[in-house]
Amino acid sequence: MPRSPQWFHQLASALTQLQTFPAPVVDRASLEEMLQISRRSAIRLLHQFGGYQAGRTFLIRREDLIAALERVQNGEPFSYEVRRRSRVVEDLEGMRRDWQARQLKLPVPAESRQAASLPAGLRLVRLGVLEVEFGSGGELLGRLYELVRIAGEDLEAFTALLGGIEPGP
């Protein structure tokens, strides 16, 4: 699919401006400003939308331009571009959240622990109930990470520490 015109993103604003535009015709320079496009692009659009040349000036009736822009706005290429842009924004937001999560520094003790005991702030209350003390979200994640790290280093000792409870899948 060919690249969508950059002026698609100015379409709603241009239609709003045209509703209160004081003149019955729109010239090339006004169209350039409304859609934030180059001189050549404005001339191309004026020809495409049924504009005409009066002397050295390109013009189009305001109503004709509104109708042409509304057709573009209701067309499939415009709808596709709106959906594409929405997906890009969602993807960027997801990447931003992921980047923020990766910036979180977990407070994990540097010393290596033995699997014979749970890390500080974790207590096995009874079979199947683990109590975690924490003062912040980062501290909670750090303690849980430490627990998983200990289990990964020596799963048999960790299982024995929990009273023989086998880890799930």
pLDDT in tens, 98-135: 888 787 676 666 655 555 678 788 888 787 788 999 88
Span between the terminal Cα atoms of the chain, in Å: 45
**Same domain membership, residue 85 and residue 114:** no
Partners of residue 129 on adjacent β-strands? 126
Number of domains, the chain: 2
What are 25's two structure tokens? Answer: 């015709």
The answer to whether residue 1 is domain-embedded is no
Q: Which pLDDT score is estimated for 160? A: 79
pTM: 0.56
- Going from the C-alpha of 89 to that of each of 37, 83, 86, the distances in angstroms are 23, 10, 5
Read off the pLDDT of each residue in 72-97 and give the average, rounded to a whole number.
92
22-36 pLDDT, tens per residue? 999 999 999 999 999
The answer to whether residue 112 is domain-embedded is yes
Q: Which pLDDT score is estimated for 1? A: 43
Top-confidence residue, 109 or 13: 13
CATH number, residue 85: 1.10.10
Under 8 Å between Cβ of 132 and 89 = no
Q: Which pLDDT score is estimated for 108? A: 61
Task: Give the span between the Cα atoms of 160 and 115, in whole angstroms.
Answer: 9
**Same domain membership, residue 119 and residue 86:** no
Residue 166: which domain range? 104-169
End residue of a domain, out of 53, 77, 100: 100
Contacts (Cβ under 8 Å, ≥6 apart) of 97: none
To the nearest 10°, report the CA torsion of 71, 76, 79, 83: -170
